[in-house]
């Protein structure tokens, strides 16, 4: 079920009414309603994959209980690795089976051996990478004794399958989200209104920015061999804003929807395109995943402690694994490695934590130095996104080569109305994001001091733009991950 669909527009009010007006006096009933609603939400795509969520929930619930009772280190390790094997085994089969088979065939063909193993027509379950990592965080935190195991299976199922963030995050930690299912929730009108504002901005990002950029980016990337370097630059720019509007838009809708039901989710994006270096970008982009890899992979490997060799190794491991998490394609791995190359000089020079606060805080404009740093970081990120978007490595290399080396035929945007209209919308979007960059999301502080009529007029104008400028409906990019 898509957030930007008629189905969800009907589904959400029904669940909201049942939650606050029918089950509001019974916490267990509310949690059971969340589980049932979440399974309906996910099963809307393909009911067969509900079994995977249930198996993952069942396995980690009982492993958590076992870890709570077990004191022997060997037995605790066995329980932990059972959870890891089951969860990553399911994820690996559905997401990476054919990737490894295809590369196995390619490797042997270089040696002159012809083999024909069986590949399978595997349908990738929507959002499997997200809920797999979410339930793994529970097992690992219980193992580390950072969290007491739950005895409430319904609450645990609600934590794993919570429908606002089930499909594309944020990837919540059990230490943060699970305890919220134990406490009675009371309807909070200001919180709900704030949630609606965030949903509105998320829909604007998705429908107006991401979907319009997607149409043009898809056209340019598909026909990249026939287009000028200037047009390819526009294609990379459109995809850069497509993926941000699409993914952060989903997170905004998820967080805002959760607030309607009395839950707080972690912030997943902090205006990443206003970053002054790549390290800052990764503190602001897909925060729930980057912190997950930091806490459960990077730090256990030694983090930035130790010699230069270990720092380099750990940096490449974290970024390449992050790339591979996104999908079974070498383009994602190269994208991860490229970001590691961007990040490494900052780490080795101990400059990776230079920019911890928002750019130009308390000011309307950045300094010249800040502007140049922000622009250079944006360009590096945009180049990396080309590898992320390309069909394969050959396509990515061809695209970048032509972008850098081919003659740039400049054209008048007036002759390309879809381009000019979308660029104007992107500029408007960037302006609102810039003015609201000190809040948790763009509209949380934007217009806060306006009178009520003006503020509502602005919100209604956004709703009008969603209906008037909304692009062709596109599935959320991160559903495929």
Which residue is catalytic, options 176, 286, 326, 408? 326
Residues contacting 265, CB < 8 A, separation 6+: 164, 165, 170, 172, 177, 254, 255, 258
Angle at Cα 224 formed by Cα 223 and Cα 226, nearest 5°? 75
Is 144 in contact with 296 (CB distance < 8 Å)?
no
- What span, in angstroms and rounded, lies between the C-alpha atoms of 303 and 324? 19
b/e per residue, 252-264, with b = 16+ CB within 10 A?
Answer: bbbbbbbbbbbbe
CA distances (Å), origin 80, targets 62, 63, 69, 134, 303: 11, 8, 13, 15, 22
- What span, in angstroms and rounded, lies between the C-alpha atoms of 122 and 112? 28
Cβ neighbour number for residue 417 with a 10 Å cutoff: 9
CA distances (Å), origin 120, targets 124, 330, 333, 410: 12, 19, 23, 46
What DSSP assignment string belongs to 399-421?
HHHHHHHS------GGG-HHHHH
Q: Is 395 a catalytic residue?
A: no
Active site residues: 326
């Amino acid at each position: 079920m898509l957030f930007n669909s008629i189905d969800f527009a009907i589904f959400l009010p029904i669940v909201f009414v049942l939650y606050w007006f029918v089950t509001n006096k019974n916490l267990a009933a509310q949690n059971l309603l969340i589980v049932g609603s979440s399974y309906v939400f996910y099963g809307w795509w393909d009911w067969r994959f509900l079994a995977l969520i249930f198996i993952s929930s069942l396995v980690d619930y009982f492993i958590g209980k076992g870890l709570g009772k077990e004191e022997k280190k060997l037995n605790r390790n066995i329980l932990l690795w059972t959870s890891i094997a089951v969860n990553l085994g399911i994820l690996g089969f559905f997401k990476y089976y054919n990737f490894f088979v295809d590369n196995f065939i390619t490797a042997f063909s270089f040696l002159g051996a012809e083999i024909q193993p069986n590949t399978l027509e595997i349908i990738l379950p929507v959002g499997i990478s997200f809920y797999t990592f979410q339930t793994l965080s529970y097992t690992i935190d219980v193992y580390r004794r950072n969290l007491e195991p739950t005895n409430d299976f319904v609450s645990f199922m609600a934590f794993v399958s919570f429908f606002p963030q089930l499909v594309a995050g944020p990837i919540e930690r059990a230490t943060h989200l699970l305890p919220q299912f134990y406490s009675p929730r009371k309807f909070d009108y200001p919180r709900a209104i704030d949630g609606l504002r965030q949903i509105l901005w998320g829909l604007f990002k998705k429908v107006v920015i991401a979907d319009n950029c997607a149409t043009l980016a898809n056209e340019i990337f598909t026909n990249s061999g026939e287009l000028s370097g200037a047009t390819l630059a526009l294609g990379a720019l459109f995809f850069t804003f497509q993926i941000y509007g699409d993914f952060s838009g989903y997170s905004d809708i998820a967080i805002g929807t959760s607030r309607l039901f009395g839950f707080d989710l972690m912030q997943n994006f902090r205006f990443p395109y206003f970053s002054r270096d790549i390290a800052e970008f990764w503190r602001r982009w897909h925060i729930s995943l980057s912190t997950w890899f930091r806490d459960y992979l990077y730090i256990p490997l030694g983090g930035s402690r130790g010699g230069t060799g270990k720092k380099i190794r750990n940096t490449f491991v974290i970024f390449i694994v992050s790339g591979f998490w996104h999908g079974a394609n070498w383009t994602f791995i190269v994208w991860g490695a490229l970001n590691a190359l961007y990040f490494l000089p900052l780490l080795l020079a101990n400059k990776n934590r230079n920019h911890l606060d928002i750019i130009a805080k308390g000011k309307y404009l950045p300094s010249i130095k800040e502007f140049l740093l922000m622009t250079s970081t944006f360009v590096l990120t945009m180049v990396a996104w080309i590898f992320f978007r390309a069909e394969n490595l050959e396509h990515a290399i061809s695209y970048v080569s032509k972008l850098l080396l081919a003659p740039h035929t400049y054209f008048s945007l007036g002759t390309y109305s879809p381009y000019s209209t979308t660029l104007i919308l992107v500029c408007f979007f960037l302006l609102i994001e810039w003015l609201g960059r000190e809040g948790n999301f763009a509209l949380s502080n934007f217009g806060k001091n306006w009178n009520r009529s003006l503020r509502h007029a602005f919100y209604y104008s956004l709703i009008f733009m969603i209906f008037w400028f909304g692009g062709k409906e596109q599935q959320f990019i991160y559903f495929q991950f």
